[in-house]
Amino acid sequence: MAKLYFRYGTMGSAKTLNLLAVAHNYQQKQMRVLLIKPEVDDRFDRLHIRSRAGLQKPADLLVHSETVLDTDRFEGVSCVLVDEAQFLSRSLVDQLRDLTLTLDIPVICYGLRTDFRSHLFEGAKRLMEVADSIEEVKTICSFCEKKAIFNLKMVEGKAMVAGPQIELGGEEKYLPTCARCYHEKTHHAQEEFEQIHERRELLQ
């Protein structure tokens, strides 16, 4: 039986580069891959899957939260590769899970596990629940040499602890950090946020 894979990592861990390398390996063997990406991801080019290294391939299918996958699109496909899988809806993850069972096609999803507040994304949460294989794509902290596990959001040089979960950006906004550096950078930011919130409540 084909498997559902979730390969997660922080920002800057070369997840998309990994995906493109897997796609290349399949195509070198004359095997067909189908590339999927959420249409909300328009940082570089909405129609392409592009790594920060500059490599890219056109996406075969753009999806949104209400997408219903047409199984006819997967006829003759040897592998399905999904970029930015954290943005998938629970329903889409379940449909990808079903593809592995009904069509016997492996599905490999790449994405973030958590947001800048260390909370699971919807797609990542469901993948953690139902994937056959969960693998970490590793990189190091932006401030030390320890393994990065968190995504730190920075605006004008300051760590952010509040704001919308989905706010697209690259290395100019999000940095991979270890647990200690994440705590150090966000602890002061959290205190400032709480003080501002308290002052606003007093003025109301």
The predicted model gives 166-184 an average pLDDT of 80
Is the distance from CB of 186 to CB of 192 less than 8 angstroms? no
Model confidence band, residue 167 (pLDDT cutoffs 50, 70, 90)? low
Is the pLDDT confidence value at 198 over 70?
A: no
pTM listed for this prediction: 0.87
Of 74, 101, 87, 103, residue with least CA distance to 168: 87
Q: Is 136 a catalytic residue?
A: no
How is residue 42 written in tokens? 């328009």
Catalytic residue from among 75, 84, 136, 192: 84
Structural domains of the chain sorted by starting position, each given as residue range(s) with its CATH number in brackets = 4-203 (3.40.50.300)
Is the pLDDT confidence value at 87 over 80?
A: yes
Is the distance from CB of 20 to CB of 51 less than 8 angstroms? yes
Report the pLDDT value the prediction gives residue 103, as an integer from 0 to 100: 97
Is the pLDDT confidence value at 199 over 80?
A: no
Is the distance from CB of 38 to CB of 88 less than 8 angstroms? yes
Is the distance from CB of 103 to CB of 141 less than 8 angstroms? no
